[in-house]
Amino acid sequence: MSEKLQKVLARVGLGSRRYMEEVIAAGRVSINGRVAQVGERIEPGDELRIDGRKVAFQIEDEIRRRVIIYYKPEGEICSRSDPENRPTVFEQLPSIPGDRWVMVGRLDINSTGLLLFTNDGELANRLMHPSNEIEREYAVRVMGEVTPQLKKNMTEGVVLDDGPAKFESFSEIGGEGINRWYQVVVKEGRNREVRRIFESQGLKVSRLLRTRYGTVILPRELRTGRWIELDKGDIDNLTKSVELKPRQGTGLFGMAKRRNERMQEKPMAARRGGYLRQQRRDNEGEAQPSEQRRDSRPANTDNTRDSRPNSRPRTEGATEQRSAYPRQERSDSRGDDRGNRASTERNGNTLDNQNRGENKFAPRKPFGSNKGFKKF
């Protein structure tokens, strides 16, 4: 049993198959101590190294292809680690012994919604590559009036700093006043592309939620900050969209399948990240001079919130957050059965990775077995 070297390296997640061919041609890859050639085949038990560093690998038939959906909350960054110790999306994923999760695209720290992760690096690269034109669908709340002319501009194409861009589709889905929700679709994953298209027309995006990536739709039963693993049918549909062959052993089995079924019956409560909210409070406190804060205090000694001048009721901010569209992003600490009204075709979450310790901002161990092979 053997497999082409560049295919193995691409699946590990070190780059696309074409890029790995360039790495091999440059003489940077060795098999059992000798320099490898493009197109060479590798077998289980061979020692594989890149730039002298050992790379753990498995032959395709030995690996169960896995894909998970993660509902990213606001305040988490799409990175394996962060020098500022901000929370990352990888902290919340299940462990995958002997393998690693590869992220499919990314979302801004202020954006929420669907993120895909897979242990198949080649699948991830194909889903992200612009030539495959995989659709990404977003629910966007916009401040400002979107006139028919502005809508026409954004669907026919605008010029951004990195080239032309447009929405493949554009429709209004709700909201009142100047804050309205729209559903838009793009076929590229450029940095902040959706926000920049709106900004080119003088409009500001106040919230952005990804609801679909290719054939995968954000399940209504999935709560913020939780993840769900796809079964064989969903994974095969995803791989067919980028012309990859289905793989034996794909999907959920045994306890994992039963655990997902239980999650469908009773979805887990949302886990909202509070990092950004706390950071805003700290910044607001630093921006206001201490003398001004002292002067703004009431003359009496009544400690009730209503007696303070220029203060807002505690429920005002909460009301704004609860009324934000769409409904499935609401936090429900009771974990009731309202999420079960949605379709149950998809599989539920797991409970393996919920408690990671009280200090979630502490430095973490490197994720995966191939540490240090992010760039070449």
Question: So which residues are the catalytic ones?
Answer: 108
CB 20 within 8 Å of CB 48: no
d(CA 9, CA 135): 26
- Within a 10 A sphere around the Cβ of 116, how many other Cβ atoms? 23
For residue 252, the Cα-to-chain-centroid distance in whole angstroms is 21
For residue 14, the Cα-to-chain-centroid distance in whole angstroms is 19
Half-sphere exposure in the Cβ direction for 207 (13 Å, CA)? 21
Q: Which residues contact 16 (CB under 8 A, 6 or more apart)?
A: 10, 122, 125, 129
Residue 164 carries which side chain, given as an amino acid letter? P
Please name the residue that has the structure tokens 């409009």.
203
d(CA 50, CA 21): 12
What are the tokens at 304?
A: 């009730």
CB 268 within 8 Å of CB 226: yes
- Within a 10 A sphere around the Cβ of 46, how many other Cβ atoms? 14
CB 349 within 8 Å of CB 222: yes
What are the tokens at 146?
A: 């979107």
d(CA 207, CA 195): 10
d(CA 47, CA 358): 40
In the DSSP assignment, the letter for residue 220 is T
